[in-house]
Amino acid sequence: MPEQPQITVDRSSPVPLYHQVAQAIEAAILNGTFAAGARLENEVSLAARLGISRPTARQALQSLVDRGLLVRRRGVGTQVAQSRIRRAMELTSLHDDLAGTGRAPQTQLLAYITAPAEASVSEALGLAPGTEVVTVRRLRFADGAPLALMTNHLPVGLCPGEEVLRTQGLYEALRAQGVRLHAARQRIGARLARAAEARVLGEPPRSALLTMERTAFDPAGTAVEYGNHVYRASRYMFDTTLLAR
């Protein structure tokens, strides 16, 4: 049975009705009354039960969808979204971050290819044009749900083996080989998901994705790896602390 939030609307309040409804549902999600995956009543039922218009009920639910607290799935209805994974802005791997916060990381290795590097890759790694590199493409899961598509390029003699990358994070495997990571140049952005990305990540077509481009260096300033990752914006965020100068 769909959940029916306990909501009292105050028509004398200057707060819009849709916002009152959204606030009550948000509170129930944040305090654990509605668990991730719980199915809520639809806008028709919500409107009738509270004595509000259907557009008002729709606006309340949509505002929570826009903020990533609810998701709408065809044939299922409106559900409470999985909690977002927050990642600190540090030189760590996603695998390490997930394991360190009690999540269960899993990896599906999609590609492991040795070939001459494209110009952008050889430039990022500081290699001569056409130098062979290993390109690794992986789908990373958190607690059984797809979270990120990761493409990394590494010098041939440095890349861990295929079987290692099926069970370990890239940085963990590099450390095991004696590689020290010292610094990285990183760029974060956003774009819409391509059809294949949306399908693999379990998102609707043209959903928002967070993007990260990173080149990591050892203490000598030699590039160790160059990666391009995309993350489900509905499940993931970068978290940083800013200090005043």
Give the Cα separation of 37 and 49 in Å (integer).
Answer: 22
Put simply, whether the predicted model's pTM sits higher than 0.75 gets the answer: no
Angle of the 54-66 helix axis to the 17-30 helix axis, nearest 10: 50
- Per-residue confidence (pLDDT) for residue 91, from 0 to 100: 67
- Per-residue confidence (pLDDT) for residue 89, from 0 to 100: 54
List the pLDDT tens digit at each of the 245 positions of the chain.
777 888 888 999 988 999 999 999 988 887 888 888 888 899 999 999 999 999 999 999 998 887 778 888 777 888 887 766 555 556 676 776 676 666 678 999 999 999 999 999 999 999 999 999 999 999 999 888 898 999 999 999 999 999 999 988 999 999 999 999 999 998 999 999 999 999 999 888 888 999 999 999 998 899 999 999 999 988 777 766 666 66
Give the Cα separation of 149 and 165 in Å (integer).
Answer: 14
All CATH 1.10.10.10 domain ranges in the chain, comma separated? 17-80
| Cβ atoms < 10 Å from Cβ of 79 | 18
- Per-residue confidence (pLDDT) for residue 240, from 0 to 100: 66
Asked if CATH classification 1.10.10.10 holds for the domain at 17-80, the reply, yes or no, is yes
CB 169 within 8 A of CB 141: no
All CATH 3.40.1410.10 domain ranges in the chain, comma separated? 85-239
- Per-residue confidence (pLDDT) for residue 96, from 0 to 100: 66
Tokens 């409107």 belong to 47
- Per-residue confidence (pLDDT) for residue 211, from 0 to 100: 94
Could you tell me the CATH superfamily of domain 85-239? Answer: Chorismate lyase-like (3.40.1410.10)
Give the Cα separation of 23 and 64 in Å (integer).
Answer: 9
- The two structure tokens encoding residue 180: 């020290």
